[in-house]
Structure 1
Amino acid sequence: MLVRTRLRLAGALASALVATGIASGPAAQAGQQHHRATLADLAQRHGRYFGSATDNPELTDTAYTKLLGHEFDMITPGNGMKWYATEPQQGVFDFTKGDEIVGLARANHQKVRGHTLVWHSQLPGWLTAKEWTADELRAVLKNHIQTEVRHYRGKLYAWDVVNEAFNEDGTYRENIFYKTLGPGYIADSLRWARQADPKVKLYLNDYNIEWIGPKSDAYYTLAKELKAQGVPLDGVGFQAHLALQYDYPASLEDNLRRFSKLGLDTALTEVDVRMILPATEELLAKQADWYADMTKACLAVRRCVGITVWDYTDKYSWIPAFFPGQGAALPWDEQLRPKPAYFALRNALK
C-alpha cells in the first residue's frame, strides 16, 4: 500500500509542484495558487466546507494569513473564544481576540465555528478557585454562555457548546460543572445557547470518538436522549486528533452515519495526524493516506458537513508542546510548503 501510495503521491507531487509554482519559487507559487481550485473550492463541490483553526498570535505572519484566507472557507479560533479569554474576571467580558478572528474571516468571506463555551480546561482562576453552590454556578454558567453567544449572534456558523464531556470509558468527566450541577448541565447549556442565538448550529465536541466504542457510544446515547427531550442539538464534532503509532479508526464512516440517522450533522473539527519524529517518507505517505481516508469517510456520509484541520501548518501546531518527540501533524510544513497530505486531500476531494 505504501509503495503504491508513494508512486501516486510522487506523480501528484510533481504535477502539483508545477501547478502551484513551488518549483519556480515563492513568488511564482503565490501567483499560481490563485489560479487553481483551493481545498475549500473542492469541498464546496460536495456541499462541504474545508476549514482551519487559527490563533491570534500568528495573525502577524502575513505569509501565513494570506494562505489561511485563500485556501479555507471556515475558521475556528483556537483559544480566543475560550472562557479564560472571554471572561477573565467574573462578569467582565473581553471579546477582543474572538472579534479579531471574526473580522479576519469576514474580510476573507469565511464562516466561523465558535470554540468553545463549556470546557473543563482553560477556565479562569476566579471560576475554579471557589466552591460554588448549584444555584450560584448555574447562574454563572448561564450568564457566560448567553453573554458570549449574544455577542456573536448572527456572526457564527456553529458553536462547540460543550467540549469533552466524557472519559474514555464513557463515564461523565468529573469537571466543575458535572460535580456541582450533574449531567443536566449539558442540556441546560444547549438550551441557553439556543435562547441567545436561535439560528447558530449547536454542537457537542470531543476527541477519541472516531471509533465506535465506549466513548462514542456515550455520545450516541446522550444525543438520542437529548433529541427525545427536545433539547436543541444540531451536531456532534469529531476532533480527529490521530497518531500514526496507533490504529486508524476504521469504523469512522459507520460512526458518522449512525449519528446522521439521529438527525444530526457531524463534522471533523480539529483534524491532525501526528507522528513520532523524525518524519520519514514512509510516515508522510501513511499520514497522507489517513488524511485521504478521513476525507472520504466524511464525503460518504451526507450529513458530515465539513472538515477543519487544527491549524494548517506545522509551524503553529500544538502537538510538539503537548507530545514531546512528536509532530509533523499537518498538511503544510513549517515553511508553509504543502506536504503529501495536502495533495492526498486534494485527490480525495476531487
Structure 2
Amino acid sequence: MAPLKAILLATLQLASASVVAADGLNARAQAAGKKYFGTEISTQVMGDANANNIAKNSQDFGQYTCENEMKFDATEPSRGSFNYANADKIVAQAQANGQLMRCHALVWHSQVPSWVSNGKFDNATLISIMKNHIANVVGHYKGKCYAWDVVNEALNEDGTYRALNLIKMVKSYGAPIHGFGMQGHMTAGQVGSASQYVSNMQAFANLGVEVAFTELDIATPSSSPNFAQQATDYATIVSACKQVSACVGITTWGFTDKYTWISNSAPLIWDTSLQKKAAYNAILNAWGSGTGTGTGATTTSKAPPAATTTAASGGGQGGCTAPQWAQCGGNGYSGCKTCAAPYTCKYSNDWYSQCL
C-alpha cells in the first residue's frame, strides 16, 4: 500500500501545483471580480490549429463572440432558410472549454442579406421578417448564451442615432435593457485617460445595467508599430473596467494580428507569428496580481472539467453537477442546476446563472 499511497500523494501534489500555476488574461480578470476576459473568434481561426490552441485556453479567454457566424446574412441567407453550422462549431468549442458565449448580433445595419436590403418590403413586412429572424436565432441558441448583442451599433460615431425607430419601438413595448456594450475600435496614442471611460461607464451603470467592452482593438500601423504605446492603452482600458463594478468584462475583437479585420495594422495582443506582444503583460499587470507566474501558457493549461453525472450530488438535473464557470440556471435552461463543490450557482440575469 505504501507505494500506492506515495503515487497518490505525488499525483495530488502535481495537481495542486498545476492549479497554482494557472494564470492568464481571463484568470486575472476573474481574480479582479469580473466575469470574463474574452475574444472574438471565427471558424477561420478554429481552422488554424496553432491559433485555435490559444483561443481554447480558458485561462486567457473565458468568453467567445462569433465574428460573423451569427449575423443576419450568415444565419438566414435566404428568407426562412436558416444555417447555423458555423456558429454551432464555435458554441460547441466554448461549451467544451467552459467558456461563456456572448452571442452576436440580432439587429445591425450592416451584413444584412441582399434578400432583405433589396426586397423593397414595407415597414410591417420588415418588422415581421425581423421578429421571425430573432425568434429563430434566439430559439436555436436558447440556454447557450450568457448575453445577446441585440441591437448592434445603434449609435453613429458622433453619438447620433443610427436605429432611432428601433429604440423607440423597444421603449414603447416596455422591454427591458439589461446591458450596454461599449465598442472600442481605437488607435494607439489616442485612447486618453482611464477616468473618461470610468465616467462614461458609471453613467450607464447608474441606470442599473451591466457594462462591457464588447469589441476592443487598438490599431497601430504594421509598417511602423508602436507596441509600447499600444500596451499602455490596453492597460488604460483594463484599468477603467476594473474601477467600475458594473463593468463585467472585456472582449477583444480577435487576439492575433494574423486574423484582424483592420488592414495594414497590428491591433491585437498576439502578433502574426502567434507570439505575445507587450500588450499581454500590460493587461495582466493592469488587472493586478493573479494566482500564478503571469506566463499565460497556452499549451499546458487545462479548461474546467465538463459537467459530470454523479448519484451523490444530491440534486440538479438528473443528479448531475456543473463545474466552475458553467451555466447552472436561467429561463429555458435544462442542464445541471447544482454546482460542484465548493461553487455556488450565482444569478446574473433572468437568462443566465453561473457556478462561481
The TM-score, its normalising length taken from structure 1, stands at 0.72
Q: Give the letter aligned to residue 47 of structure 1.
A: G
Shift of the 119–187 alpha-carbon distance from structure 1 to 2, 3 Å rule, reads: same
CA change 1:100–1:34 in 2 (3 A) is farther
Q: Which residue of 2 aligns with 1:81?
A: 70
- In the other structure, the counterpart of 2:116 is 127
Report the CA distance between 1:33 and its aligned residue.
Answer: 12
CA distance in 2: counterparts of 1:141 and 1:249, whole angstroms? 39
Between the aligned residues of both structures, percent identity stands at: 41
Give 1:234's aligned residue.
Answer: 178
Alpha-carbon distance in 1 for matches of 2:77, 2:184: 29
What displacement does 1:277 show? 3.4
Alignment counterpart, residue 340 of structure 1, candidates 262, 272, 278: 278
SS of aligned partner of 2:56: helix
Per the alignment, in what secondary structure is the counterpart of residue 42 of structure 1?
A: helix
The aligned residue for residue 215 of structure 1 is none
Unaligned runs of 5+ in 1: 1-31, 191-225
After superposition, what is the alpha-carbon deviation per residue over 1:203-232, rounded to whole angstroms, capped at 9, x for unaligned? xxxxxxxxxxxxxxxxxxxxxxx4x97421
Change (3 A) 1:315 1:229: same
**How does 1:16-35 map onto structure 2 within 5 Å?**
35=21
Match of 1:51 in 2: 38
Change (3 A) 1:33 1:53: farther
Match of 1:196 in 2: none
Partner amino acid, structure 2, of 1:89: S
Provide, for residues 108-147 of structure 1, a one-character-per-residue CA deviation record: whole Å limited to 9, x for no partner.
Answer: 1101011111111111110000111111111001111111
What displacement does 1:166 show?
Answer: 2.2
Residue 184 of structure 1: CA displacement? 3.7
| Correspondent of 1:349 among 265, 287, 311 | 287
Tell me how many residue pairs correspond in the alignment: 267
1:136 aligned residue: 125
Counterpart amino acid of 1:61?
D
Structure 2: which 5+ residue stretches go unaligned? 1-17, 289-356
Superposed displacement of residue 248, structure 1: 2.5
1:289–1:344 CA contact under 8 A, matched in 2 = yes
1:116 is aligned with what amino acid? A
Separation in 2, partners of 1:273, 1:292: 11
Which secondary structure does the structure 2 equivalent of 1:248 belong to? coil
Contact 1:245 1:276 survives alignment (8 Å): no
1:30-179 correspondence runs (5 A): 35-48=21-34, 49-70=36-57, 71-173=60-162, 178=163
CA–CA distance in structure 2, aligned partners of residues 34 and 80 of structure 1? 36
Check whether the contact 1:119–1:163 (CA below 8 A) recurs between aligned residues: yes
1:51–1:309 Cα contact (<8 Å) kept:
yes
Equivalent residue number for residue 200 of structure 2: 255
Q: Is the 8 A contact 1:296 1:348 kept in 2?
A: yes
Residue 218 of structure 2 is matched in structure 1 by 273
Contact 2:193 2:236 in 1 (8 A): no
Q: Deviations over 1:221-260 (max 9, x none)?
A: xxxxx4x974211111111110125353651110011100
Bigger radius of gyration: 2
Rounded to whole Å, the distance in 2 between the matches of 1:307 and 1:116 is 17
1:122 partner letter? Q
Displacement of 1:349 after TM fit? Answer: 1.1
Which has the larger share of helix?
Answer: 1
Tell me, yes or no, if the aligned pair for 1:279 and 1:328 is still in contact at 8 Å. no
- For 1:329, the aligned partner's letter is P
- What is the distance in 2 between the residues matched to 1:237 and 1:265? 8
Residue matched to 2:231: 288
Shift of 1:279: 3.7
Distance 1:80 1:304 in 2: 26
- 1:239, 1:270 within 8 Å by CA — same for their partners in 2? yes
Cα pair 2:189 2:233 within 8 Å, conserved? no
Answer yes or no: is the 8 Å Cα contact 1:241–1:271 preserved in 2: yes
Instruction: Indicate how the Cα distance of structure 1 residues 345 and 245 shifts in structure 2: closer, same or farther if over 3 A, else same.
Output: closer
Tell me the distance in 2 between the aligned counterparts of 1:59 and 1:114. Answer: 17
State how far apart, in whole Å, the 2-side matches of 1:84 and 1:229 are.
Answer: 27
User: So what's the TM-score if we normalise by structure 2?
Assistant: 0.71
Amino acid across the alignment from 1:291? Y
> 3-state DSSP class of the match of 1:319?
coil
Distance 2:135 2:286 in 1: 39
Given candidates 167, 170, 190, the residue that maps to 1:186 is 167
Cα distance, 1:34 vs structure 2: 9.8
Please tell me the root mean square deviation across aligned C-alpha atoms, in Å: 2.0
Shift of the alpha carbon at 1:275?
1.2
